[in-house]
Amino acid sequence: MLPPYEVFKKNIEALKLQKTDKLVFYDKTGIFSSPRAAWTFSLYGHGRVYLLNHYPDYKKHDYPLDTNPKDTLATSAEVGDAHHYELISQEQFSDNYQDQVIDYEELLALVQSEKLEKHYVTFDARSTDRFTGKSPEPRPGLSSGHIPGALSLPFNKVLKEDGSYKSKEELIQLFKDDFNIDVTDPTLGGKEAVIVMCGTGVTAVILKLALQSVIGTGFPIRVYDGSWTEWAQRAPSAYIAKSG
C-alpha cells in the first residue's frame, strides 16, 4: 500500500509542497482515510503533519473556508517549475519503516513460531463479522476470517457517533473493558508492540492514531500494510482462522 520512495518523492514534488508547510488532513464527514494520509507523510519525514478530528465541527463554527477552484497545491508564490522537496534519505525512511510497519514475511514467521500472541497485541479494524468469517470480504473470492492471535477492534469503536475520535479517557476505558489492557502502561505488560491491521491498511491507522495521538501511548505501534487482503491471498489456509 505504501508508495515506494521514488514514487512518493516524484508525486510530492509534483504537488509543489514545501518541507516547511504545515499539512492538515481531514475527511469530509468523520474520521476515515485522513489518518492513513497523514501517517504516510509523517512516515516519509514531513515534520508538520496535523489531523483535523472533525471537519463538520470546523464548518459549524464558521471558521474560514476557501471554496475557490485550485489549479495547484503550491503554498508559495516563489515555487517554480523545477521544485525540489528535501525528502529524508532512503536510510532514514528504512528506519521509519522498520519501526512502524510490519511485512507479511515477518508476521507469518511470528504466527508460525507461535510468538505473535506472546510478544505482540494485534488489533484488526475490520467489522466483527468479517473477522469471524461470518460475512464475506468486499473483494470477490477473498476469504474472510482473521490471523490467529489477532483481536477484533472495529475502527468505529474508537469513534463517536459523529465519526470523530472518542476522548482519551473513553479510549483508555475501552481497551480496559474490552481487552483488559492498560494502554497507559508504556511496557504494554511486557509486550514488544501493538500491530494494527484492517482490510487494506487504511482504517488500521485509525487505531494507530487513537493509541498514539489521542491517548499518547509510549509503546511502538506497527501497521501491517498489506493487511487482510494480502494475508488472505498469501497465507496458508491453516493460518486463516474463522471463529471469534
The secondary element (H helix, E strand) that includes residue 222 is: strand 221-224
Q: How far apart are alpha carbons 169 and 72 in whole angstroms?
A: 41
The three-state secondary structure class of 38 is helix
Catalytic-residue membership of 198: yes
Residue 112's contacts (CB-CB under 8 Å, 6 or more residues apart) are: 239
SS (H, E, C) 43-58: HCCCCCEEECCCHHHH
The three-state secondary structure class of 236 is coil
Mean pLDDT of 14-25: 89
Spans of all domains in the chain? 5-91, 100-239
Give 187-228 pLDDT, tens digit per residue.
Answer: 999 999 999 999 999 999 999 999 999 999 999 999 999 999
The CATH number of domain 5-91, selected from 3.40.250.10, 3.90.1150.10, 3.30.1490.20, 3.40.718.10: 3.40.250.10
Q: How far apart are alpha carbons 48 and 69 in whole angstroms?
A: 25
Among candidates 35, 39, 40, 43, which has minimal Cα distance to 96?
A: 43
pTM: 0.93
* Whether the predicted pLDDT of 77 surpasses 70: no
Among candidates 20, 38, 22, which has minimal Cα distance to 165?
A: 38
Facing residues of 130 across strands? none
The active-site residue, picked from 195, 198, 221, 232, is 198
The CATH number of domain 100-239, selected from 3.50.50.60, 2.40.170.20, 3.40.250.10, 3.90.950.10: 3.40.250.10
The backbone torsions φ and ψ at residue 122, rounded to the nearest 5 degrees and listed phi first, read -115, 120
Stronger pLDDT, 67 or 230, i.e. the higher one: 230
* Whether the predicted pLDDT of 72 surpasses 70: no
